[in-house]
Structure formats: C-alpha cells, structure tokens
Amino acid sequence: MFGEIVYLDNAASTRLDERVLEAMQPYFFDVYAVATSEFGYSPGIEAKEALERSREALAGSLGASPDEFIFSSGSTESSNMALKGVAMALGEKRGKHLIVSKIEDFPVLHSAKALEKQGFQVTYLDVDGDGFVNLEQLQNSITDDTILVSIQYANQEIGTIQSIEAIGQICRARGVLFHTDATHSFTRLSLDVRRVPVDLITISAHTIHGPKGIGGLYIRKGTLINKWMDGGFQEFNLRAGLENIPGAVGFAKAVELVTPEENERLRVMRDRLIDRVLADIPDTTLNGHRQKRLPQNANITFHFVEGESITLHLDMRGFAVSTGSACFSRSLEASHVILGIGGDHERAHGSVRFTFGRYNNMEDVDSLVEVIADVVNELRAISPLSEATK
Amino acid sequence: MKFPYSEIVLEHFRHPRNVGRIEDPDGKAMEGSPACGDMVAVYIKVDPKTNCITDIKFESYGCASNIATGSIITELAKGKTLDEAKKITWKEAADALGGLPPIKVHCSVLAVEGLRAAIRNYEERHGLVKEKEPTTVEEVRRRLRRVMNPLTGLDLIRTNLVRDIEVKDGTVRVVVALPAGHQFAPAIREEILEKVETLWDVEQVLVEFTE
C-alpha cells in the first residue's frame, strides 16, 4: 500500500519485501567490494561468493546450472540481449528470420522492430480471442532462415499463459532457438528447463517484490549468442559491467520468498474479483482466458466508459490500477494486446488491468468491487453510449 | 496525490455540470474521435427570438479532459447567442479549466466541436445556414484542422501529415503521409471522411496513404 492506496498494479512494479532489503543491506555497507577472483582480497572474494550463491539460487529455480544464467539490469535488457545477441551471432551464419507473437511486451516487440531495420525479417504471429498463439501458424512460419522464436510465457496485460512446452518442442524439432519472456510468470508458474525445451528465458526481480534494476537471462549451454555489453569480462564474458551484487542477492531472496501458498492466495483473489465484477456489473468482458491466466492478473473491459476516467476515479478513491485505453498511454496508442486478441478500440478503451501482489488481501478485493461498480455507474450515467444500448 | 490535471479540471471531472440529454433539443450533435475513442454529445435549446442558448447538456464517453471540457463548454455557452457560442475556442475552454496537458488536446477539442456542430445542426434545421459556396482546397484544409493526429494530439495540418489535397468535380482527394498499415490509419481515414463528406457539394472523398 502507498499510504492509503490499495496498489493493484503489481505487474508494473511491486513493493519491496523488507526481508529482501534486509538481505541486500550488508552488500551496500559491509561487502561493497567488487567481486574478485579467489586470488583477490577477502571482501572481494566474499562479494564474489554472494554473487555466485545468488546465481546458483536463480539458475536452480529454473532447473538450470549456474553457468547458464547471467544477471542483467532487468527484463528489458534480457529480452534485448536474447533477440539481438542471437541475431548478431547467427544472422550471417544461419539466417535472418525471427518469429514473435503480436502481443509480446515492448522489449521483445521493439527489439524485433529494431532488427527489421537492420535487414532481418520478422514474422508477427496472430493470437486468438484469448491471446493464444496458433501452433500451426508457428509451424508454418518456420523457414530455413529462421533462427529464433520468441514467445512469452504469460501476457503482461491479459495474463494468458502460452503452451510454451509445445512451442519449445516445435522449435526444437526444427532446430530453431526458443526464447520466452517470463517476466510476469516467473515463480508464479513453474518453469523447468530440464522439462521444457526452451533456450533463453527472460526474468526480472521487480515483479516479485524484489528490487528494481536487476533481472536475468537463462542461456542454455551451447546457445550461440553475442556479447551484449562491451567492457570487462563479467558474466561469462557476455555482459560487461560492475556486478549489481546487492541486486543479485535481493533477487535471490525475492525468489525464495514466493511460495505456492502465496500463488494460491493470489489466484483466489483474482477469481473473486473476476467472478464478482462479471456477475455484479453488466456489460463487462473478461480479457484473456478464464483459467489459463496468471494467478495475479485480471483484465476486464467496462463497456461504454473510458479507462482513464475509471483509473482516475479509482485513484481518488484509493485504488491504483492501469488501463489499455489510448488516453492513458504516453503514446496515445490503444493496447496492442487488446487489439491483438481481436478487440476493437472500444474494447481497449474501457479495459482495466488489476494485478495482485503480496500486500493485497481479500478485503481489498471486496471494497474494490463496490467502488468500481459505483464509478462505472457514474460514468455510464453521463455516457452517450450506454443510453443508446438500453 | 499529484495529477497532471489542474484542480479545476479535477473538480469538473468529479462533478460535471449540465450532464445528460435534452429530450426535445433544438440542436444536437455527436462528435467522436475514432482514433482515441472518445465521444461527446451536445444538446441545445435555443430561444428563437434572441438566438440565445437557453439550455445545454452534454454526454461524454471519454477521459477526464474530455469530461471536464464538456462540462466547462456548457457553462461557457449557456446564455450566449449562437454567434457568440460558435466563437468559443478550445483555448478559451482550456484556459477556463486552468490549462490542459498538450497530449490531451484531441480528447478535449471534441467538446468544442460538439458545441459548434450542435449549433450548426440548429442552423441547418432552422434555415439559418448562410449562402452555399463551392468547396475549395482551403475549406477542406480548414476542416482537416479538426482531425487529430493521435500520435501528437495536434491536428493533421499542423503536424504536416497532409501531403496533398485535391478538389475536382465533387471529388475530394486527401493524401496522408502515413503507411496504410499504421495503427491509426483506419481511424484517421474515418475522421477525414466524417469531416469532409458533409460538405454540400462533395460526392466522394478519397483518402490515400503514402506507403
């Protein structure tokens, strides 16, 4: 909570858990040395050990070995590195074609666009009304020139969970690398690289009550990828830069604190919100699949009203949520995700995303439902559209 | 809490004035911006003797600046003559609201257009429309100033998105400097059609994109 505000935008950012801060603190004040080799001075060795312990924990949470995981500044960097690093490594040798879904988050989508400008071809896969990629279309889109498929594990706005195991199998069978942006699903859904044939995974700490500015990229052993940041030899010589050790320690702690019970608690809140809103407020549409969605995500369109008006009213009454309305975004573009699932501008216009986190509870849900019903009624009362349809 | 909106905007957003519809209006109009999705309906009652707006109401399917501008514009127009009300500009409405964020121009300008369109509707219904003049490139350009470029919140003319305008034998051709596959291309096309088609001597409007 932000003072009085019930914060329901946990997909964008989360409140840091005190226990994470506590774990990080020694690496700001005591062990602040650069990570050195085992031949360095003792604070440096201690720093190095903390970094490697964190790496081990994070890699382990994905079923990977520590040398398959590098730290980055967050999921934007990880996805940039996955797409551009692979493109640079394989573009000349293997081919210049990539495949992504239309509803990827901006780091993947805009990296793909940037590569297009450099002579790569990109196929943007359609999704169905719930946001699922069509596996047949994926099959048919892979050519001899395809080097990488990048499809998210779960969607940032509507929460839809892709069948990444099946997608990975298709890619594996065709000898194409598979990257998945798991920013919003990490620790909320299970992902084990020993079972799922995925070659690159983007994750971040900011969605799970960890610190901002730290993320990571899983890179399966043997995957060809170019060095991303030039400088020193850090991160297996793939990403130069002074290691963010407090961040890495905090990230590992944040992962440790997520439990199956918490995920279940989020799911129950999500279901209660969806069920009550759809039942209590007429002319509402759930965006995304009812079951196959992130446990912490609900996204609902309130027809005949506009999302920014809803969020502003909710803010004034103590709730922070976000919307896919064009009016809300800095670019004034409607959500590409809602448009991608076949929605029109009207559906995006009144869409509101609610994302739950550790510091929300069932009372928040119940009071939210009441407040949002009021807000939507008030706005509908002044809307020229609602009358016309009655 | 810190909002990008002035206190006056928030006050009008929270408690919009003159909201609703007039059941038997003398003039009415619905202005919409398919690009951003906002819509405004304006209803007026006019005293035929004085040509004064005796009552005015609005409805909004839009964001905070859209609602607030609808509210303020009804306050500004009430009691004014049609000629006075017609001259109320977006700038005057924005000033009365203590300013609006530049990116929100296109949502708020709709209310001003809604008022003018409702007045025009009254004038047309009551035979007050002045002499009909043939449509010129200049007139088309003037109308395109009311089509917003959603990328910037400014109009198509100001943002140099209109490459060419041609008026010939009842056909108006407008060339827009955007790829046809752009997210806003269909919306911009629709808005151009809406604004230009109503000209009395225009039979066909062709909107072309450069790529």
For chain A, the structural domain boundaries read: 18-257, 259-389
pLDDT average, residue stretch A340-362: 91
B173 and B104 in a single domain? The answer is no
Q: Residue B107: pLDDT band by 50, 70, 90 thresholds?
A: confident
- Cα distance between residue A32 and residue A43, in whole Å: 8
- Cα distance between residue A107 and residue A325, in whole Å: 20
Q: Is B110 on the interface with A (CB under 8 A)?
A: no
Instruction: List pLDDT tens digits, range A108-167.
Output: 999 999 999 999 999 999 999 999 999 999 999 999 999 999 999 999 999 999 999 999
Least confident of A204-208, A341-345, A386-390: A386-390
Q: Is B153 on the interface with A (CB under 8 A)?
A: yes
pLDDT at B103 over 80: no
CB burial of B21-53 (b: ≥16 within 10 Å; e: otherwise) equals ebeebbbbbbbbbbbbbbbbbbbbbbeeeebbb
B120 and B142 in a single domain? The answer is no
pLDDT at A81 over 50: yes
Number of folded domains that form chain B: 2
Least confident of A306-315, B53-62, B159-168: B159-168
Contacts B42 to A, Cβ<8 Å: none
- Cα distance between residue A97 and residue A152, in whole Å: 18
Q: Is residue B131 part of a domain?
A: no
- Cα distance between residue A275 and residue A265, in whole Å: 15
Position A1 scores a pLDDT of 44
Give the minimum alpha-carbon distance from A94 to chain B in angstroms, rounded to a whole number: 30
Contact A384 B37 (CB under 8 A): no
Which tokens sit at A166? 């099946």
B144 and B48 in a single domain? The answer is no
Q: Is B1 on the interface with A (CB under 8 A)?
A: yes
Say whether pTM exceeds 0.80. yes
Q: Residue A389: pLDDT band by 50, 70, 90 thresholds?
A: very low
Which tokens sit at A203? 């994750």
Contact A308 B64 (CB under 8 A): yes
DSSP string, chain B: ---SS-HHHHHHHHS-SSBS--SS-SEEEEEE-TTT--EEEEEEEEETTTTEEEEEEEEEES-HHHHHHHHHHHHHHTT-BHHHHHT--HHHHHHHTT---GGGHHHHHHHHHHHHHHHHHHHHHTT---------HHHHHHHHTTSEETTTTEETTTTT-EEEEEEETTEEEEEESS-TTSTTHHHHHHHHHHHHHTSTT--EEEEEE--
Q: Are A322 and A312 in contact (CB under 8 A)?
A: no
Give the minimum alpha-carbon distance from B119 to chain A in angstroms, rounded to a whole number: 18
Which of A112-121, A328-337, B83-92 is predicted most confidently?
A112-121
In angstroms and rounded to an integer, the radius of gyration of the C-alpha atoms of chain B is 17
Q: Is B54 on the interface with A (CB under 8 A)?
A: no
Last residue within a domain, chosen from B94, B125, B156: B125
Q: Are A206 and A11 in contact (CB under 8 A)?
A: no
Q: Residue A331: pLDDT band by 50, 70, 90 thresholds?
A: low
CB burial of A36-54 (b: ≥16 within 10 Å; e: otherwise) equals eeeeeeeebbbbbebbeeb
In angstroms and rounded to an integer, the radius of gyration of the C-alpha atoms of chain A is 22
Catalytic residue, candidates B29, B35, B36, B187: B36
B101 and B141 in a single domain? The answer is no
Average per-residue pLDDT for chain B? 87
Contact B60 A383 (CB under 8 A): yes
Instruction: Tell me the catalytic residues of A.
Output: 327
Q: The CATH number of A18-257 is which of 1.25.40.10, 3.40.50.2020, 3.40.640.10, 3.40.50.970? A: 3.40.640.10
Last residue within a domain, chosen from B125, B147, B165: B125
Which tokens sit at B77? 């127009």
Position B34 scores a pLDDT of 54
Position A332 scores a pLDDT of 64
Q: Is B150 on the interface with A (CB under 8 A)?
A: yes
pLDDT average, residue stretch A73-77: 98
Contact B150 A332 (CB under 8 A): yes
Contacts B39 to A, Cβ<8 Å: 384-385
B157 and B188 in a single domain? The answer is yes
Domain that holds residue B70: 7-125
Helix or strand run (H / E) with residue A204: strand A200-204
In this structure, whether the domain defined by A259-389 belongs to CATH 3.40.50.620 is answered with: no
B105 and B150 in a single domain? The answer is no
- Cα distance between residue A354 and residue A29, in whole Å: 37
B21 and B89 in a single domain? The answer is yes
Q: Residue A387: pLDDT band by 50, 70, 90 thresholds?
A: low
**Who among A307, A316, A384 is closest to B39 (CB)?**
A384
- Cα distance between residue A124 and residue A141, in whole Å: 9
List residues bridging with B45 in a β-sheet: B55
Q: Is residue B89 part of a domain?
A: yes
Nearest CA in chain B to A312: B64
- Cα distance between residue B139 and residue B174, in whole Å: 13
Q: Is B52 a catalytic residue?
A: no
Contacts B11 to A, Cβ<8 Å: none
CATH code for position B39: 3.90.1010.10
Q: Check the CA dihedral A102-A103-A104-A110 and report its sign.
A: positive
Residue A302's CB is within 10 A of a number of other CB atoms, namely 26
B66 and B164 in a single domain? The answer is no
pLDDT at B102 over 50: yes
Contacts A309 to B, Cβ<8 Å: 13, 62-64, 67
Sheet holding B39-47, edge to edge: B27-32, B39-47, B52-61
Instruction: Compute φ and ψ for B60, nearest 5 degrees.
Output: -135, 135
pLDDT average, residue stretch B53-65: 93
Last residue within a domain, chosen from B125, B146, B170: B125
- Cα distance between residue B205 and residue B2, in whole Å: 45
B12 and B114 in a single domain? The answer is yes
Q: Residue B2: pLDDT band by 50, 70, 90 thresholds?
A: low
Considering only residues B153 and A169, tell me which one the structure prediction assigns the higher pLDDT: A169
- Cα distance between residue A333 and residue B177, in whole Å: 18
Contact A384 B20 (CB under 8 A): no
Q: Is the ipTM of this complex over 0.90?
A: no
Q: Is residue B2 part of a domain?
A: no
